[in-house]
A = this chain, B = another copy of it.
Amino acid sequence: MLESLVRKNNTKIILVVLDGVGGLPVKEGKTELELAKTPNLDALAKVSALGLHLPVDYGITPGSGPGHLGIFGYDPVKHQIGRGILEALGLGLEVKDTDIAIRGNYATAERSEGRLVIKDRRAGRIPTEENRRITSKLSQAIGEIDGVKVFFSAGMEHRVALLLRFPEELPEGSDRIKDTDPQKEGLEPIVPKGENEHSERVAHVVRELLQRVEGVLSDEPKANYLLLRGFSQKPKMESFEERFGLRACAVAVYPMYKGLASLVGMDLIDFEGQSIYDQITALRDVWQDYDFFFLHVKKTDSYGEDGDYKGKVKIIEEFDEHLPELLELKPDVLVITGDHSTPSVLKGHSWHPVPVLLHSPYVLGGTSQRFTERECLKGELGIFPAQKLINLMLAHSLRLAKFGA
């Protein structure tokens, strides 16, 4: 229904995602947002619509994929992104409709009496440096198998992402292949088999790949084998522009978030540097070219995951300092929120509703003093499903026609 009401105009919308911004009391009963000194956010909060969004459902802790899909207006339960795809996006691989993405673990295997047995599923958690050397060796040795291009990208420790790029788009279900990881040491790896004719074609390539990997890594003392998991295809999603009529771009530093934005068809903006200042500068440079700007700040989440509440507070304060630069652009709608909460006390993502600030001329405002969890509870938006944020952004930019007469 929403899509049928969308119309276009010249308004501009900025969506700032302070990753994992929501928190819990951490010191003197105050959350990270409450501890942060944020004069600019405070002033904006007083004249904005506030509330909290529920990323997936009550009590559900979202990963980065569902967290972002929700605030982009896509049902995060309907559009599940395969593990292989997320790993590949996170390691900076561009994923196409012709690709099968896979998560890999370097492992230690041993051949005895003709049987290949897994001795260590993580190859002794080899150092990342070692991983890079081995991955580079594989990349050089295996570029293509039966006309299918193969890409490797090293992750942390024993982790690696793989892409198989076929010559043409793959039918749905081509990723129906079980993990090769036997889940226990002392067992043989599971031979990849397709569950249908399309995935069997992929499995055939994977079996040949594994044979070649074994050959290339045969003289490695630890990482002499590769276990594969999370075979997945790029999910079919209508683009952000098709659904919402918005020419959208992403100003993000980390590959995972660039990847998520590109999944819904946002353009990725290249820029120098990694700071919030650099990001805002990049956004300003393309201000004329887009309707919708997704600005992703990663470090609120990173510090939250580390349990470093002071670090998280500092990043919130750093964003606050640069907020006036965003406001100078005079966006018609400015939304500041997170994709989920990452309370420092939990050292990880959590299920708690996420503070939302929506600035526009068409709000009540005057409900709250600050942009914090508790002040957002007093706001005019209430607690609402993340997926409805796009409705609100479109409505406040006057991009939705009336429903019914």
Contact = CB atoms under 8 A, between A and B. Distances in A.
B59 A392 contact: yes
A373 interface: yes
A402 B58 contact: no
Contact of A388 (B58, B62, B65): B58
Interface in A380-405: 380, 382-384, 388, 390-396, 400-405
A47 to B, nearest CB: 9
A403 B366 contact: no
The size class of the interface chain A forms with chain B is 35 or more
B367 A343 contact: no
A63 B377 contact: no
Interface string A265-282: 000000000000000000
Interface in A200-228: none
A76 interface: yes
Given A59-B394, A81-B404, A367 B362 contact: no
Interface stretch (A165-173, A245-253, A346-354): A346-354
Given A29-B366, A364-B374, A382-B382, A59 B405 contact: no
Given A57-B388, A384-B58, A403 B367 contact: no
A365 interface: yes
A164 interface: no
A394 B59 CA distance: 7
A345 interface: yes
Tell me if A's interface is mostly helix, strand, loop or mixed: loop
A80 B377 contact: no
Given A59-B388, A394-B59, A364 B405 contact: no
Contacts of A65: 404-405
B373 A66 contact: no
Interface string A100-117: 000000000000000000
B395 A62 contact: no
A156 interface: no
Given A29-B366, A382-B382, 7 more contacts: A29-B365, A58-B392, A59-B388, A65-B404, A86-B404, A349-B402, A377-B380
Interface of A: 1-2, 5, 24-25, 29, 31, 56-66, 76-77, 80-81, 83, 86-87, 343, 345-346, 348-353, 361-367, 373-374, 377-380, 382-384, 388, 390-396, 400-405
Across the A-B interface, the 10 shortest Cβ-Cβ residue pairs: A59-B391, A59-B395, A58-B388, A63-B404, A66-B404, A382-B383, A63-B405, A58-B391, A351-B395, A65-B404
13 contacts: A1-B57, A2-B57, A25-B365, A29-B366, A58-B388, A59-B393, A60-B400, A61-B395, A61-B400, A346-B362, A366-B374, A367-B374, A377-B380
